[in-house]
């Protein structure tokens, strides 16, 4: 198939997916009142003020405290729209602050329910089962505070072990969903947990990756055994570049050991926004080629969520930017890595984590072009941000897995927003769709 | 045309390829040790082995041996500088700037070697040693530009019939007396500021780091600073004292302890026979730096930032955090997390990249830290001091203390080591009151997310450098001018736009232009 034919296929698949989206009225940020959403998306300062508020909410001690912070942030917005100005005015009295604080706290919880599937894995099981019954697989991510002590790392590891047991125990009772639990290589676990190495050790040091790698291994090793025992999948998330060497080194080292040859199912992440992501992928493919595992390692390709962080850090230190600074370059790299990954099967299992309609359509088209089956390509989205895409993909018979944060609503929302706050230029397909870009523009080749 | 100033990029040590280079650099350096540090006055060099500088992590390792400059050396250096300063300051500012920028290039070409020397001579861990070399380069580049700018003078009010001009001339001979903890950057900053503005410099490096002092003089000479304009006098306190009291010296630039700084100010104020000027002293002294943590702080951010500010380089920075004042609502939570974070600190040799807490500089320092730790135990409670540390080399266990009685010397005196105290405050206002009572005012920190709290502390704090929601060390040249107030210093800030004014005298000229045939 020629490049032109591929391009036609991408356009067609993209258009079909777009047509399967729920109606435009239910746009991706519907959790916010439409009025608030309109205000917030029209004004970056206001959006930043609201993000800062959600970020600080768990640290506020009273309704009064909440209201003072909210009005403090709104006070820094240069042109406050009338409803916001009214809210600021209300906060001049103690009673007004209590009312505003209560409303704001309610707002945060309201918002949190859209992104967080439950306060504990147990509480999330209902939502996960519903997703499963609608043809959507999941991966659970346990939200929590940063790990700065050994005790915190131990506690996170315990939460992970408990989550594996909960998920695996319950998922056994779910109805059969062949598309979600088998590919050409073999069975796929129903229970799927995403794990952050930065939470498994307080010793991640960018200049000394071995220190964190060795400490995290002490806690990851038992988790891999647990996952194997329960028949669950463990996915090791990738975070900022500072920890990449430790994370990848840790995973490849442990999974390469003989004791894990027959499981568990496990995966790593490649971030396409990194300029050297191609080399990283080759490293993983070389590793996969030299290690025989009964279940191939899954590689989740994502754009990367720390773009602003990476760029700011590089600028502050005078380093060359490790990330692509032009979106189109990043998108082109994403497509190149997609092709490389799909060609490398069955050495690896492939998951494409993107809300970019073009990137998703491209992966599907390339998979077909290579003669791959639909079940050999997994598509992944984020809970609360990719819900429409998730439904569209599921309805068209693709295996879609939704990344589901679990944790305290208010604190958990703050962790999520912190990522958004630090990465406000990570504007994606979603915002562009919100802003009314046409489907042709969204599907254009990068 | 000189390109705009930008900070020298620090090594990207998170990359394995960069890390691979540093071990080789250390091995290369080791083959050249011990360095011999002579007295350098003009073209004359006199070597000797009166003083030894050793590796604090391995005290048998001799890093440098230096001659001790005596009073004759000081007098000779001052005479030469007085005679030679005219030629140096007669050079156009742009030429002097070029010499400094060539010195910066010389350092840039030897970055790893210069950092390795600090690893050995001062047990400064690699990232910090590399940061120090970058800062030295930054000072050269920044002051070179600043001096060219200053050379143009400043605009004055002009009225018909007169022409008013303001320009700046160097003070003359500057004695530079730096500490060992930033063994290249601080001597380089003070020296570069003096040279850029046309002064002659006599450098008396810290007795713990003469090797780094030698490298600075080599860089400046290689860059084209005239031999008369830069002399090196290795020695101890008496060499420095002689330099300060010399009637031929116009200015002293000092960074170090409060005690020595006050003595320098006293001595410099005493007019010596034959002295026809008032000596100017720039002194950067110690700190007792507090970090305020409000109840709305993000502890995920605050804990690592505070721990690193207090314990990196074993707390041996004048900017290091030494007291945490935390809102009582989160006191227990913060203390628990701090305890855990201190317990996982890696104590080890400076050459190891994993090391966060290296040995302190010398036995006296080790004993001083131990004394303060005992005092903290007597006046309060040691929260953690659990780690066994290597018994060879001058290691100190990172110590976290709390519940100290008010009035304990641990709360007001500079420890200059890996000891941090934590205490609850009722409100941020209460915390500011405590900061206000301290004699020092160098750096300070604030963790808070209410914009009005940030405004309040900004308005109230006396410190020279306030850091909000980040660590309180690591000031960057041109970005965070550095220097404190009260007993922390004379109020000049290194690496800032005003610093060079300390090294010059203003000269105003008013010329009557009535008979110049100019239009009114």
Residues of chain A neighbouring B340 (CB-CB closer than 8 A) = 148-152, 202
**Number of continuous H segments (helices) and E segments (strands) in chain A:** 20, 8
Q: What is the spatial distance between Cα A171 and Cα A165, in angstroms, rounded to a whole number? A: 10
- Report, as an integer, the average pLDDT of A87-99: 84
Shortest distance, CA A278 to any CA of chain B (angstroms): 16
Query: Which residues of A, range 55-84, sit inside 8 Å of B by Cβ?
Result: 55-56, 59-61, 65, 68-69, 72-73, 75-76
Residue A351 has pLDDT above 80, yes or no: yes
Percent of chain A with pLDDT over 70: 91
User: What per-residue confidence (pLDDT) applies to A115?
Assistant: 87
On whether any CB of chain B is under 8 Å from the CB of A181, the answer is: no
Question: What does the pLDDT look like over B55-113, one tens digit per residue?
Answer: 999 999 999 999 999 999 999 999 999 999 999 999 999 999 999 999 999 999 999 99
Please indicate whether, in this complex, the C-beta atoms of A152 and B340 are within 8 angstroms of each other.
yes
User: What per-residue confidence (pLDDT) applies to A429?
Assistant: 42
How big is chain B by its Cα radius of gyration, in Å? 24
- Report, as an integer, the average pLDDT of A263-270: 97
User: What per-residue confidence (pLDDT) applies to A37?
Assistant: 52
Is residue A202 within 8 Å of residue A231, measured between CB atoms?
no
Please indicate whether, in this complex, the C-beta atoms of B449 and A59 are within 8 angstroms of each other.
yes
- Count of CB atoms situated within 10 Å of the CB of A100: 23
Shortest distance, CA B470 to any CA of chain A (angstroms): 13
The whole-chain average pLDDT of chain B stands at: 97
Nearest CA in chain A to B356: A205
Closest to A317 (Cβ–Cβ): which among B10, B16, B352? B10
Shortest distance, CA B12 to any CA of chain A (angstroms): 7
For chain A, the structural domain boundaries read 118-407
Range with lowest mean pLDDT among A37-51, A74-88, A377-391 = A37-51
Who has greater pLDDT, A105 or B356?
B356
Residue A311 has pLDDT above 50, yes or no: yes
Residue A13 has pLDDT above 70, yes or no: yes
Residues of chain A neighbouring B356 (CB-CB closer than 8 A) = 205
On whether the pTM is more than 0.80, the answer is yes
Closest to A60 (Cβ–Cβ): which among B6, B296, B300? B296
Residue A435 has pLDDT above 80, yes or no: no
User: What per-residue confidence (pLDDT) applies to A425?
Assistant: 47
Closest to B340 (Cβ–Cβ): which among A145, A148, A208? A148
User: What per-residue confidence (pLDDT) applies to A42?
Assistant: 60
- Taking alpha carbons only, the member of B188, B194, B187 closest to residue B150 is B194
- As its CATH architecture, domain A118-407 has Alpha-Beta Barrel (3.20)
- Report, as an integer, the average pLDDT of A106-133: 91
User: What per-residue confidence (pLDDT) applies to A31?
Assistant: 43
Question: What does the pLDDT look like over A180-227, one tens digit per residue?
Answer: 999 999 999 999 999 999 999 999 999 999 999 999 999 999 999 999
Please indicate whether, in this complex, the C-beta atoms of B340 and A151 are within 8 angstroms of each other.
yes
- Report, as an integer, the average pLDDT of B161-184: 97
Question: What does the pLDDT look like over B387-444, one tens digit per residue?
Answer: 789 989 999 999 999 999 999 999 999 999 999 999 999 999 999 999 999 999 999 9
Q: What is the spatial distance between Cα A270 and Cα B110, in angstroms, rounded to a whole number? A: 36
Please indicate whether, in this complex, the C-beta atoms of A211 and B297 are within 8 angstroms of each other.
no
The residue among A196, A207, A209, A317 with the most chain B CBs within 10 A of its CB, best to mutate, is: A207
Residues of chain B neighbouring A56 (CB-CB closer than 8 A) = 296, 298, 449-450
Residues of chain B neighbouring A219 (CB-CB closer than 8 A) = none
Question: What does the pLDDT look like over B139-157, one tens digit per residue?
Answer: 999 999 999 999 999 999 9
- The two tokens of residue A302 are 């994502």
Show which residues of B are catalytic.
Answer: 284, 318
pLDDT band at B453 (very low <50, low <70, confident <90, very high): very high
Closest to A72 (Cβ–Cβ): which among B10, B295, B451? B451
Secondary structure of chain B: what % helix, strand, coil (to 5)? 45, 20, 35
How do beta strands B162-170 and B504-512 pair? antiparallel
pLDDT band at A426 (very low <50, low <70, confident <90, very high): very low
Query: Which residues of A, range 316-335, sit inside 8 Å of B by Cβ?
Result: 317-319
On whether any CB of chain B is under 8 Å from the CB of A245, the answer is: yes
Domains and CATH numbers, chain B: 18-51+59-285+491-507 (3.40.605.10), 289-476 (3.40.309.10)
User: What per-residue confidence (pLDDT) applies to A91?
Assistant: 82
Question: What does the pLDDT look like over B261-300, one tens digit per residue?
Answer: 999 999 999 999 999 999 999 999 999 999 999 999 999 9
* Strand order across the B251-255 sheet: B44-46, B39-41, B230-232, B200-203, B173-177, B251-255, B280-284
User: What per-residue confidence (pLDDT) applies to A415?
Assistant: 80
- Taking alpha carbons only, the member of B39, B33, B36 closest to residue B62 is B33
Q: How many CB pairs under 8 A join A and B?
A: 90
Nearest CA in chain B to A145: B300
User: What per-residue confidence (pLDDT) applies to A371?
Assistant: 95
Residues of chain A neighbouring B303 (CB-CB closer than 8 A) = 148
Please indicate whether, in this complex, the C-beta atoms of B295 and A69 are within 8 angstroms of each other.
no
Question: What does the pLDDT look like over A397-419, one tens digit per residue?
Answer: 999 999 999 999 888 888 887 76
User: What per-residue confidence (pLDDT) applies to A428?
Assistant: 47
User: What per-residue confidence (pLDDT) applies to B1?
Assistant: 79
- Report, as an integer, the average pLDDT of A80-87: 75
Render A367-386 in DSSP notation, one character per residue: HHHTT--GGG-EEEEETTTS
On whether any CB of chain B is under 8 Å from the CB of A231, the answer is: no
């Amino acid at each position: 198939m020629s490049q032109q034919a591929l391009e036609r296929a991408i356009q067609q698949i993209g258009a079909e997916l777009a047509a399967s989206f729920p109606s435009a009225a239910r746009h991706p940020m519907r959790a916010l009142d439409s009025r608030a959403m309109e205000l917030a998306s029209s004004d970056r300062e206001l959006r930043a003020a609201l993000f800062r508020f959600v970020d600080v909410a768990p640290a506020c001690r009273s309704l009064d405290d909440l209201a003072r912070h909210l009005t403090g942030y709104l006070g820094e917005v240069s042109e406050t729209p009338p409803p916001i100005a009214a809210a600021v005015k209300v906060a001049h009295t103690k009673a007004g602050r209590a009312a505003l604080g209560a409303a704001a706290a309610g707002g945060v919880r309201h918002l949190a329910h859209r992104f967080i599937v439950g306060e504990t894995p147990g509480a999330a099981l209902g939502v996960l089962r519903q997703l499963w019954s609608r043809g959507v697989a999941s991966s659970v991510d346990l939200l929590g505070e940063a790990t700065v002590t050994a005790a915190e790392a131990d506690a996170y590891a315990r939460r992970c072990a408990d989550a594996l047991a909960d998920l695996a125990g319950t998922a056994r009772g779910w109805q059969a969903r062949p598309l979600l639990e088998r590919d050409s290589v073999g069975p796929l676990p129903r229970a799927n947990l995403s794990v952050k190495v930065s939470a498994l050790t307080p010793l991640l040091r960018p200049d000394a990756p071995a220190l964190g790698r060795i400490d995290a291994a002490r806690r990851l090793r038992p988790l891999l055994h647990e996952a194997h025992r329960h028949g669950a999948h463990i996915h090791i998330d990738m975070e900022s570049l500072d920890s990449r060497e430790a994370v990848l080194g840790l995973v490849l080292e442990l999974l390469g050991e003989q004791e894990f040859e027959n499981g568990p199912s496990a995966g790593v992440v490649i971030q396409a926004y990194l300029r050297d992501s191609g080399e990283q992928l080759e490293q993983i493919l070389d590793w996969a080629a030299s290690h025989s595992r009964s279940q191939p390692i899954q590689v989740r390709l994502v754009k990367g969520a720390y773009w602003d962080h990476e760029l700011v850090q590089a600028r502050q230190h005078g380093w060359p930017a490790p990330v692509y600074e032009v979106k189109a370059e990043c998108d082109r790299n994403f497509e190149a890595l997609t092709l490389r990954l799909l060609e490398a099967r069955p050495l690896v299992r492939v998951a494409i984590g993107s809300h970019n309609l073009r990137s998703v359509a491209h992966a599907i088209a390339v998979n077909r072009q290579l003669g791959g089956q639909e079940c050999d390509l997994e598509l992944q989205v984020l809970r609360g941000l990719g819900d429409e895409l998730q439904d569209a993909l599921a309805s068209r018979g693709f295996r879609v897995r939704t990344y589901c944060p679990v944790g305290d609503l208010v604190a958990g929302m703050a962790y999520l927003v912190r990522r958004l706050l630090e990465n406000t230029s990570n504007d994606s397909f979603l915002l562009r769709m919100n802003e009314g870009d046409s489907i042709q523009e969204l599907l254009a080749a990068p | 045309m000189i390109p705009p100033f930008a900070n020298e990029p620090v090594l990207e040590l998170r990359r394995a390829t960069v890390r691979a280079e540093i071990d080789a650099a250390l091995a290369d350096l080791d083959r050249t040790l011990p360095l011999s540090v002579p007295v350098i006055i003009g073209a004359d060099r006199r070597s000797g082995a009166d003083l030894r500088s050793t590796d604090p992590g391995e005290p048998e390792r001799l890093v440098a041996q230096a001659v001790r400059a005596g009073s004759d050396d000081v007098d000779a250096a001052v005479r030469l500088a007085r005679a030679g300063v005219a030629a140096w300051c007669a050079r156009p500012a742009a030429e002097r700037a070029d010499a400094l920028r060539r010195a910066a290039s010389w350092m840039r070409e030897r970055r790893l070697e210069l950092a390795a020397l600090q690893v050995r001579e001062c047990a400064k861990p690699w990232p910090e040693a590399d940061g120090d070399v970058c800062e030295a380069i930054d000072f050269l580049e920044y002051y070179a530009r600043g001096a060219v700018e200053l050379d143009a003078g400043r605009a004055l009010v002009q009225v018909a019939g007169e022409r008013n001009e303001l320009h700046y001339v160097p003070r003359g001979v500057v004695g530079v007396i730096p500490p060992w903890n930033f063994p290249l950057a601080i001597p380089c900053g003070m020296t570069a500021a003096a040279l850029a503005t046309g002064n002659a410099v006599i450098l008396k490096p810290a007795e713990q780091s003469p090797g780094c002092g030698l490298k600075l003089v080599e860089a400046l000479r290689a860059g084209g600073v005239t031999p008369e304009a830069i002399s090196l006098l290795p020695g101890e306190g008496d060499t420095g004292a002689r330099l300060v009291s010399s009637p031929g010296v116009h200015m002293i630039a000092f960074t170090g302890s409060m005690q020595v700084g006050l003595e320098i100010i006293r001595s410099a104020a005493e007019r010596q026979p034959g002295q026809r000027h008032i000596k100017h002293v720039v002194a950067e002294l110690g700190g007792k730096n507090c970090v305020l943590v409000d109840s709305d702080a993000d502890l995920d951010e605050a804990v690592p930032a505070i721990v690193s500010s207090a314990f990196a380089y074993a707390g041996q920075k004048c900017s290091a955090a030494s007291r945490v004042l935390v809102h009582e609502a989160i006191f227990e939570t913060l203390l628990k997390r701090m305890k855990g974070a201190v317990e996982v600190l890696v104590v080890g040799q400076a050459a190891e990249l994993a090391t966060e807490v290296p040995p302190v500089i010398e036995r006296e320092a080790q004993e001083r830290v131990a004394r303060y730790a005992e005092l903290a135990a007597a006046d309060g409670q040691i929260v953690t001091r659990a780690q066994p540390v290597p018994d060879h080399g001058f290691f100190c266990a990172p110590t976290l203390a709390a519940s100290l009685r008010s009035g304990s010397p641990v709360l007001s005196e500079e420890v200059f080591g890996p000891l941090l105290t934590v205490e609850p405050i009722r409100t941020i206002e209460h915390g500011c009151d405590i900061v206000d009572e301290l004699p020092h005012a160098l750096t300070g920190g604030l963790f808070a997310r209410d914009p009005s709290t940030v405004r309040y502390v900004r308005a109230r704090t006396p410190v020279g450098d306030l850091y909000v929601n980040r660590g309180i060390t690591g000031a960057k040249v041109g970005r965070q001018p550095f220097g404190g107030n009260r007993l922390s210093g004379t109020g000049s800030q290194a690496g800032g736009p005003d610093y060079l004014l300390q090294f010059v005298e203003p000269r105003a000229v008013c010329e009557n232009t009535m008979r110049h045939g100019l239009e009114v």
